[in-house]
């Protein structure tokens, strides 16, 4: 499907003054309306129309930015990946299923002081490595990254290849890195449920009523994005999420929703004082910035 300039802007609802990040943010919002998770119980005719709309959105976005579509082809054509990882929040993470963690595997990761993690963004799902974050003594997480870009592998085999092949990255300084390079194999790439982060699922959750919010999903995504902002020196994200910011206060409230530190109803009343449309827009922008600092392998 090919669209012209004017038609592309009409499809996305942006004018000629819209910047590239604004076009991307608008595109991401519109894609959410047609995500398969929303339409799984819809009639076939509705799902077919949604696929047509996605193809049109993809064509408009590609024309205006020359970027590849963010919604995977497997979603675009209505098909489903053969194998998926299901995160603890029931959001699909389209990646080959990692091995089950064994005591031997747990000992290996404890010895090298790292953990494999899964991050899902609109472009896809990737595996990477990071050190633990210990906020009580102000120890920040470090990632398999370089030049302000996070390295992501699309499979366990790909992550092992990255570890063995990368010559410049931010984890080289770790004393245990040579041990990791010599010892790692695919059977050890077992990701704990707590280390799986689904950004699109969190954005989708924000569009629902606060009574349907998933505190564990939302706080986990906040935590990983905040750590990435510090590690990759993403100043715009750090300023948006830093203590004292409105999004950080919302994060604290969502924690209270999960832990019942105050009555749930009282916390919900404070949450609803936020402009939740602006919250969603802010997180859409944050998601776009993160996507620009990912290096896929």
Q: Residue 267: what pLDDT?
A: 82
Residue 81 lies in a domain: no
φ and ψ at 92, to 5 degrees? -70, 130
Residue 250 lies in a domain: yes
How far is the C-alpha of 241 from the C-alpha of 235, rounded, in Å?
Answer: 10
φ and ψ at 32, to 5 degrees? -60, -30
Residue 246 Cα distances to 96, 139, 179, 193, angstroms: 37, 24, 43, 28
- Residue-wise pLDDT for 79-107, tens only, equals 333 333 333 333 444 444 556 677 888 89
Residue 96 lies in a domain: yes
* 236 and 185 co-located in one domain: no
* 176 and 233 co-located in one domain: no
- For residue 46, count other CB atoms closer than 10 A to its CB: 12
Q: In terms of Cα–Cα distance, which of 285, 258, 287, 278 is closest to 199?
A: 287
% of the chain with per-residue pLDDT over 70: 80
Which CATH number is 12's domain given? 1.10.287
Asked whether residue 74 carries a pLDDT value surpassing 60, the answer given is no
Q: Find the mean pLDDT for residues 237-257.
A: 93
- Residue-wise pLDDT for 264-278, tens only, equals 778 888 888 889 889
Asked whether residue 231 carries a pLDDT value surpassing 80, the answer given is yes
Residue 203 lies in a domain: yes
Residue 107 lies in a domain: yes
How far is the C-alpha of 93 from the C-alpha of 117, rounded, in Å?
Answer: 12
Asked whether residue 237 carries a pLDDT value surpassing 80, the answer given is yes
Query: How many independent structural domains does the chain possess?
Result: 3
- Residue-wise pLDDT for 202-225, tens only, equals 998 898 878 888 999 999 999 999
Residue 159 lies in a domain: yes
DSSP H helices, the chain, are: 5-12, 20-33, 36-39, 44-65, 73-76, 103-112, 156-165, 177-183, 199-206, 215-231, 235-241, 246-259, 264-271, 276-291
Quote the domain boundaries for residue 167. 92-192
* 96 and 188 co-located in one domain: yes
Dihedral sign for Cα atoms in the order 237, 218, 88, 29: negative
Residue 287 lies in a domain: yes
* 102 and 185 co-located in one domain: yes
* 54 and 138 co-located in one domain: no
Residue 82 lies in a domain: no
- Residue-wise pLDDT for 283-293, tens only, equals 999 999 999 99
Which of residues 21, 43, 76 is at a domain's end? 76
């Amino acid at each position: 499907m090919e669209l012209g300039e004017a038609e592309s802007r009409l499809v996305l609802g942006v004018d000629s003054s819209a910047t590239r990040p604004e076009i991307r943010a608008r595109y991401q919002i519109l894609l959410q309306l047609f995500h398969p998770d929303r339409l799984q119980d819809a009639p076939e005719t509705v799902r077919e129309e949604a696929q047509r709309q996605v193809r049109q959105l993809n064509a408009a976005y590609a024309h205006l930015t020359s970027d590849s579509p963010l919604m995977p082809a497997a979603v675009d054509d209505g098909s489903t990946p053969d194998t998926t990882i299901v995160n603890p929040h029931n959001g699909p993470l389209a990646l080959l299923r990692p091995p089950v963690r064994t005591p031997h595997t747990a000992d290996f990761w404890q010895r090298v002081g790292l953990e494999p993690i899964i991050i899902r963004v609109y472009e896809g799902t990737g595996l990477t490595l990071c050190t633990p974050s210990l906020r009580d003594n102000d120890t920040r997480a470090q990632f398999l990254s370089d030049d302000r870009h996070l390295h992501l592998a699309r499979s366990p085999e790909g992550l092992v290849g990255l570890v063995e092949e990368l010559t410049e990255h931010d984890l080289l300084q770790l004393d245990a890195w040579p041990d990791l390079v010599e010892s790692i194999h695919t059977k050890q790439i077992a990701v704990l449920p707590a280390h799986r982060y689904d950004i699109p699922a969190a954005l989708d959750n924000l569009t629902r009523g606060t009574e349907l919010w998933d505190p564990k999903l939302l706080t986990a995504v906040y935590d990983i994005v905040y750590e990435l902002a510090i590690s990759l020196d993403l100043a715009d994200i750090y300023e948006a999420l830093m203590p004292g910011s409105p999004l950080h206060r919302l994060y604290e409230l969502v924690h209270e929703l999960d832990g019942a530190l105050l009555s749930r109803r009282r916390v919900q009343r404070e949450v609803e004082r936020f402009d939740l449309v602006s919250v969603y827009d802010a997180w859409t922008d944050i998601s776009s910035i993160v996507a620009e600092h990912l290096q896929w392998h």
